[in-house]
Structure 1
Amino acid sequence: MQKENCIFCKIAKHEVPSHVVFENEQVLAFLDLSQVTKGHTLVIPKQHADNVYDLSVEDAQAVFATIPEISRALQQETGAAGMNILSNTGKVAGQSVSHFHLHLIPRHDKHDGFGAKWEVHNEDYTADELAAVAGAVKNRL
């Protein structure tokens, strides 16, 4: 089901113009209007899901099955040395559109406009604490 006021649902229905790079029955990939690097592409399921928590297994499979092919085409076209593939879930993680999407960001060098900062906190967690978290998650699965 699509959401009436969702910009990505409107793009998926071709009600809003976009620069489509890939489309099949379940998936649409188009250039992000806010290009971080040349070729920055968004890949969405046509079926609305607010975020990864709401994504069906079928739509996840459909979206992720397209990633290698689209990524290779982007790499070949842009000459990128690498690719960041990411999704933001929730406002605290930077999600700005409530429709699940993956960003494919071709990378050229460390100063090409994209940066992700990782602060490692290994010293904050003991092996026992990590084992407890892993066990608790495993039990939920």
Structure 2
Amino acid sequence: MRAISHEPPDYSCPFCRLQRGEVNEHNQPSDVVAVTDRAFARVAPKWWPGNPGAVLVVPRAHVENLYAISPEDGHAVWDLTQRVAVAMRDTYGCDGTSTRQHNEPAGNQDVWHLHVHVFPRFTDDRLYQRHEEPRWVTASERAEHADRLRAALALPVTFA
């Protein structure tokens, strides 16, 4: 399948900007909980009710979607996704985790850089029934969750 790009020509990728040290209220260095050679994980700036502390796992290379990712970057993202899910389960006291990844506008993709959502799940949290209810959270709200995951993951957190 030939990948079709939906990324605008002048797109300023928030994940690439974060790796370059360009920050704003939604992208802070303190959000980053792990960095590997090919992927990184950061606490998400948008949370759904009942699922605080969700994480995004992102390939370091700019790749728009699942259709275009290399096997090496795909494996790195999935390996880090698993580590994040285990750390989340251990540190948040959640009942489980869920992952999801979106491709193209019809697939609900709205950031044109592949990323995997890792959600803490709690009994009866209704995550999938609350799609329209997310809110942007402050860096200070994200910090507690990031600190706990960073300690549990014990991986580098800087983009070298």
What is the TM-score normalised by the length of structure 1?
A: 0.74
Distance 2:78 2:112 in 1: 19
Unaligned 5+ segments in structure 2 are 1-9, 131-160
C-alpha change, 1:10 and 1:81, in structure 2 (3 Å) is same
Distance 1:58 1:81 in 2: 31
Deviations 1:36-66 (A, max 9, x none): 2122000000100000011111100111111
Does the aligned pair in 1 maintain the 2:40–2:80 contact within 8 Å? no
SS in 2 for 1:115: helix
Which residue number in structure 2 is paired with residue 83 of structure 1? 97
Distance 2:129 2:99 in 1: 12
Distance 1:115 1:4 in 2: 29
Unaligned 5+ segments in structure 1 are 118-141
Which residue number in structure 1 is paired with residue 44 of structure 2? 32
C-alpha change, 1:21 and 1:93, in structure 2 (3 Å) is same
SS in 2 for 1:25: coil
Which residue number in structure 2 is paired with residue 114 of structure 1? 127
Distance 2:66 2:81 in 1: 16
The answer to which of 17-26 and 78-87 deviates more is: 17-26
Q: Which runs of 4+ in 1 moved over 2 A?
A: none
Distance 2:15 2:39 in 1: 11
Larger relative contact order, structure 1 or 2 (CA cutoff 8 Å, min sep 6): 2
Distance 2:21 2:129 in 1: 32
Which residue number in structure 1 is paired with residue 154 of structure 2? none
Distance 2:126 2:45 in 1: 15
Displacement of 1:82 after TM fit?
A: 1.2
Map 1:89-108 onto structure 2 (within 5 A).
89-108=103-122
Aligned positions, number = 114
Q: Does 1:8 align with 2:15?
A: yes
Alpha-carbon RMSD across the aligned residues, in angstroms, is: 1.9
Map 1:10-89 onto structure 2 (within 5 A).
10-16=17-23, 17-18=28-29, 19-36=31-48, 37-89=51-103
What is the TM-score normalised by the length of structure 2?
A: 0.66
Deviations 1:98-118 (A, max 9, x none): 1000000010122x251169x
